[in-house]
Structure 1
Amino acid sequence: MTSKPRLNICITCTASTADAPSDPRDGKQLFDRMAALCADHDLPFDLHPAECLTNCKSGCSVALNGAGKWGYVYGNVDPDTMLDDLRDLATRYADSENGIVAWRERPETLRRNVIARIPPLD
């Protein structure tokens, strides 16, 4: 079992700009592209596909969580333009003591995309 924080990417999401669900879904494309981007790096977080984050009105969604850390759900993540920023955010999250990444330290493209903040269990 891993103790690394996790970046969960919803693989069933459809982008908020899409007219109809894509095949594969935009969320699956986001996951696959992120997996390729992270493949050759030793990252402080694990990447995990999630079947559904129940955030369908907010386009492609991701969730960050870890032991003893605040959890976050982000929406409207663009699989074409936000990969590097998402990796940067997940790294900053993993490196934080309690999961809180200061607003100004978050990548600009994701600052306003927070859907929810969830308190840690411990």
Structure 2
Amino acid sequence: MTRNQKPRHKKIDLMTTKPRLNICITCTASNADAQTDPRHGKMLFDRMVELCAERDLPFDLRPAECLTNCKSGCSVALNGSGKWGYVYGNVDPETMIDDLCDLATRYADSDDGIVAWRERPETLRRNVIARIPPLDGI
């Protein structure tokens, strides 16, 4: 690339991009006495990969190096085009896999990313850390 050339960026068609479930792979569970190897977040991600391989899901699964939510154990973030984003903490990699999949599916199926409190899996209802407005409109 010469000095005057602008870098070419791949265009992403946001209308066809699936919402994402981002899982922090560097998290340690909040109830852990010490860090594990692999980390609890990586175990959560690996279990979700196995689960997603068996199902046709309406969301993409992505690892995240750090969601900077370390005091709240295993953390995940949901985001999508035109949707409110959410960060959830204290996700148990042993017991919340199916509930997390259910929540991400409901999120993906929603128009604006908002899943009513009563429609969220009971294990995750009180785990919301943040709700983030969409970049491309509310």
Q: Which of 95, 109, 112 is the aligned partner of 2:109? A: 95
| Alpha-carbon distance between aligned partners in 1 of 2:110 and 2:102, rounded to the nearest angstrom | 12
Q: Does residue 110 of structure 1 match 2:124? A: yes
Question: Equivalences for 1:39-58 in 2 at 5 Å?
Answer: 39-58=53-72
**Quick one: distance in 2 between partners of 1:39 and 1:56?**
28
Deviation at 1:42, TM superposition (A): 1.1
- The one-letter amino acid paired with 2:59 is F
1:40-67 Cα deviation digits (max 9, x unpaired): 2111000000000000000000000000
Larger-Rg structure: 2
Higher RCO (CA 8 Å, separation ≥ 6 residues): 1
User: Could you tell me the TM-score, scaled by structure 1's length?
Assistant: 0.98
Q: How many angstroms does 1:38 deviate by?
A: 1.0
1:1-122 matches, within 5 Å, as 1=12, 3-122=17-136
CA RMSD of aligned residues (A): 0.8
Moved over 6 A (4+): none
